[in-house]
C-alpha cells in the first residue's frame, strides 16, 4: 500500500511539473484553437476550419501535461448543434477509443472525465484512418476471390482503391453490386460498416453461392486526402464529393468511379448501388441506423423496404427509412446518378446513413455493432 501511495505521489508531482501540450502529429488529426487553464483543468478547443473543412465536424487530437488530481474538462462551442457529438470518444493510447457521454449539447460541447493517464486523445467518434484501411487490404490481398486495383493516386501518393470480390468473374449474367464509402471524410462510422461488409465477403462463413451469383465492386474510401488530413469533407468547396456526380465531375476520384461503374455495368447485370455515409454526430434520426428512400411508392420502393425488413429480421438492428427527393440545386448525388443512368436494371440505389449515437438496445454503438451491421447488410442478399 505504501508503495502504491508513493508511486501516486511521484506520478502526480511529475504530471504537475510537465507543461501542458497538444499532440497534433496524428494521421487524421484535427484541432484548431486549443488553450489550457490549469486552475480549472479545462481544455478549450475548436476544430480547424477552412474551405475544404467548412463544417468543422471532425476533431481528433491529444493532450498531455494536464492535472491528474481533479476532473479534466473539454469545452468548445460549435456553430451548429448537429456538429457536436453526443458521444465523443477518448483514448489513452490513440488505439482503443471509448465512448463518453458529453453534457453540454445545447450551449456547445462540454465533456468531463477523470483522467486515468498522462495523455488523453479525444475525437468526434471512433477514428477510421487511411492506414487502417491499408492494413485491412494487406491482410486480405492474397484471397483468390479478391482483386485490388488502384483507381487513382493523389498528388500526395494516397490511393483510391477498388476491390472486386467474386468467384468466377468471367460469368456475364452475374448480379453487380456497387458499394462506396467515405465520400464525406468525417463520417468514420461508415467505414466500420464498410469493413464489416468486406470482412464478411472474405470470410469462410460467407455463403459461397453469393460469390458465384454476384460480383461486388467496392471503393471503400473515396475522399482519401480529406480522411488522411482530418478534414470534415462534407460541404467542401468548390464542391462536395457527393454533389459532384454527373456532368464532368470536378474531383478526379468521382470521374474514375463513374467510369468504372460504366465499364462494369456493360459486363454484368447491374443490380444495386449502396453509398455508405454517417449522419451528423449530434443529429438524431430516431436513434437508428437509417437509409434513404428515393422512390416513394412503387416497385423499387418495395424492393428497398423488403431488403431492409429482411436485414432487420436477421440482424436485430432497426433501420429507418428517411424520404429523400431529387434536388439539383447543389449538385447530383451518387445514388441519384446511378438511378438516373441505370434505373432500368437497378433493384435500387440507396444512401445508407450510419448513426453515431444509440443502437437498438439503447446503448452507444460500438465498433463491433458497426462491423455486425456491415455483415448483416451483405447477408440480406443471401
Site residues (vs Zn ion, CB under 5 A)? 184, 277
By beta-carbon proximity to Zn ion, the closer residue of 193 and 206 is 193
By beta-carbon proximity to Zn ion, the closer residue of 184 and 375 is 184
By beta-carbon proximity to Zn ion, the closer residue of 165 and 373 is 373
Smallest separation (angstroms) from Zn ion to the CB of 189: 10
Q: At what angle do helices 188-201 and 367-379 cross, to 10 degrees?
A: 50
Closest CA to 251 of 115, 164, 174, 152: 152
Cα torsion 18, 21, 26, 32 to 10°: value is 170
Dihedral sign from CA coordinates of 313, 318, 323, 324? negative
By beta-carbon proximity to Zn ion, the closer residue of 62 and 319 is 319
Report whether 15 contacts 118 (CB < 8 A). Answer: yes
Smallest separation (angstroms) from Zn ion to the CB of 253: 15
By beta-carbon proximity to Zn ion, the closer residue of 175 and 277 is 277
Smallest separation (angstroms) from Zn ion to the CB of 277: 3
Residue 120 CA to residue 65 CA, distance in Å, equals 10
Smallest separation (angstroms) from Zn ion to the CB of 311: 20
Smallest separation (angstroms) from Zn ion to the CB of 45: 24
Backbone angles phi, psi at 278, to 5 degrees: -125, 145
Smallest separation (angstroms) from Zn ion to the CB of 232: 10
By beta-carbon proximity to Zn ion, the closer residue of 14 and 327 is 327
Residue 347 CA to residue 299 CA, distance in Å, equals 9
Burial of 123 (0-12, 13-18, 19+ CB in 10 A): buried
Amino acid at each position: 500500500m505504501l508503495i502504491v501511495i508513493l508511486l501516486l505521489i511521484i506520478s502526480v508531482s511529475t504530471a504537475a511539473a510537465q507543461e501542458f501540450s497538444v499532440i497534433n502529429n496524428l494521421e487524421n488529426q484535427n484541432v484548431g484553437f486549443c488553450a489550457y487553464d490549469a486552475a480549472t483543468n479545462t481544455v478549450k478547443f475548436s476544430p480547424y476550419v477552412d474551405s475544404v473543412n467548412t463544417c468543422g465536424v471532425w476533431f481528433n487530437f491529444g493532450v498531455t501535461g494536464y492535472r491528474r488530481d481533479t476532473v479534466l474538462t473539454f469545452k468548445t462551442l460549435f456553430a451548429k448543434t448537429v456538429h457536436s457529438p453526443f458521444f465523443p470518444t477518448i483514448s489513452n493510447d490513440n488505439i482503443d477509443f471509448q465512448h463518453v457521454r458529453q453534457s453540454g449539447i445545447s450551449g456547445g460541447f462540454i465533456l468531463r472525465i477523470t483522467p486515468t493517464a498522462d495523455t488523453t486523445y479525444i475525437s468526434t467518434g471512433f477514428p477510421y484512418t487511411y492506414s487502417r484501411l491499408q492494413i485491412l487490404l494487406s491482410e486480405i490481398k492474397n484471397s483468390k476471390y479478391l482483386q485490388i486495383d488502384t483507381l487513382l493516386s493523389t498528388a500526395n501518393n494516397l490511393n483510391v482503391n477498388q476491390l472486386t470480390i467474386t468467384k468466377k468473374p468471367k460469368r456475364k449474367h452475374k448480379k453487380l453490386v456497387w458499394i462506396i464509402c467515405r465520400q464525406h471524410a468525417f463520417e468514420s462510422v461508415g467505414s466500420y460498416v464498410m469493413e464489416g461488409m468486406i470482412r464478411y465477403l472474405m470470410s469462410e462463413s460467407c455463403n459461397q453461392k453469393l460469390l458465384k451469383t454476384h460480383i461486388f465492386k467496392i471503393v471503400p474510401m473515396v475522399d482519401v486526402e480529406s480522411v488522411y488530413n482530418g478534414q470534415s469533407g462534407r460541404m467542401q468547396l468548390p464542391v462536395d464529393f457527393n454533389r459532384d456526380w454527373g456532368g464532368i465531375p470536378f474531383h478526379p476520384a468521382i470521374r474514375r468511379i463513374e467510369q468504372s461503374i460504366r465499364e462494369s455495368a456493360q459486363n454484368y447485370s447491374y443490380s444495386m448501388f449502396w453509398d455508405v455515409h454517417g449522419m451528423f454526430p449530434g443529429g438524431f434520426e430516431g436513434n437508428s441506423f437509417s437509409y434513404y428512400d428515393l422512390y416513394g411508392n412503387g416497385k423499387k420502393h418495395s424492393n428497398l423496404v423488403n431488403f431492409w425488413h429482411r436485414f432487420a429480421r436477421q440482424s436485430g438492428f432497426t433501420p429507418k427509412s428517411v424520404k429523400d427527393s431529387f434536388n439539383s440545386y447543389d449538385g447530383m448525388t451518387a445514388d441519384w446518378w446511378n438511378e438516373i443512368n441505370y434505373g432500368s436494371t437497378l433493384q435500387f440505389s440507396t444512401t445508407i446513413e450510419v448513426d453515431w449515437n444509440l443502437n437498438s438496445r439503447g446503448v452507444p454503438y460500438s465498433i463491433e455493432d458497426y462491423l455486425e451491421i456491415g455483415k448483416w447488410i451483405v447477408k440480406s442478399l443471401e
